[in-house]
A = this chain, B = another copy of it.
Amino acid sequence: MSFEAPHGVIAPILTPFNDDLSIATDLYVGLAQQLFEQGCAGLAPFGTTGEALSVGIDERIAAIRALIDGGVDPAKMIPGTGLSNIADTTRLSRACLDLGCSAVMTLPPFYFKGVSEEGLYRYFAGLIKAIGPDARIFLYHIPPVAVVGIPPSLAARLHTEFPEQVVGIKDSSGDWDNTRELFDIGGLIVYPGSELPLIDALQLGGPGCISATANINMVEISKVVGLFDAGDIEAARAQQDRIRDTRLTIQEYGPIPAQKRLLAMRTGDARWANVRPPLGPLSESRGQELAEALNTGQ
């Protein structure tokens, strides 16, 4: 079975927590349903935005199951499953694929720093062998957080060696030169991890983007894709300029706590503001400031 890339905006959905910091399944399913109603092409649960590395393996599996029970089509989900070792990453990836998820997104092993490209290659080769021939993997390149990255030469080697299994890459480097280089790898699906270069990515034949801000700005970001698809590049560019400020303002306030506070304000459900340590929540007063900054900016 070949992999079909969702076309449009994929949301790395936030993970809501109850006051005891267990996953708030009701809010999670509710946001997922809303994002699809707003036109999202797919979900990437448990990315960095979803506080993935603050959530245990079994917790993640239960949460993905809850989304499916809540009506989300698993074929439209690419959950993050990357841990720092093959055994645990395999267990989590296998569970997601067995639940019907179309692919999984995996970080490089991110504990040891300064490792060789050969070592990273052998890690992914071992992971693919352990998951099995039906592995469908998006590489997750996010050096600002993981420190360990996936250089284009490694992505190319992995895709060439495992064309059926290494289907794509999410590039959250924030470095367009890096993203552009990835588009030269024939057959590799490339999503930038931000809406800022969305049109550039679409023009290079990319299917869309995976953007944190999609959690609170899905409709507006999707419009860029709609206008682009309709051939109105000028209007698409104008729309992209409009959503740019929202992205930059959110980033300035710390994307995860900021978006969660905004959702708490919008929905009236204070649980949305909860984050797991080591992150801390955005205070109500800073949330007010943020809301005003967003209103002024748009």
Residues of A that sit less than 8 Å from B by CB: 21, 48, 53-59, 83-88, 91, 108-113, 115-116, 118-123, 126, 144-148, 276-280
Contacts and interface: CB of A to CB of B under 8 A. Distances in A.
Give this chain's copy count. 2
A252 to B, nearest CB: 14
Given A56-B91, A109-B53, A115 B85 contact: no
A173 to B, nearest CB: 15
B56 A123 contact: no
Nearest to A119: B278
B145 A147 contact: no
A118 B85 contact: no
Given A120-B278, A278-B123, A113 B56 contact: no
A130 to B, nearest CB: 10
Contacts of A120: 277-278
Residue from the set A83, A111, A122, A276 with the largest chain B CB neighbour count within 10 Å: A111
Contact of A87 (B59, B115, B277): B59
Nearest to A126: B277
A25 to B, nearest CB: 15
A250 to B, nearest CB: 17
Nearest to A147: B147
Given A85-B276, A115-B280, 5 more contacts: A21-B126, A54-B86, A110-B111, A119-B278, A119-B280
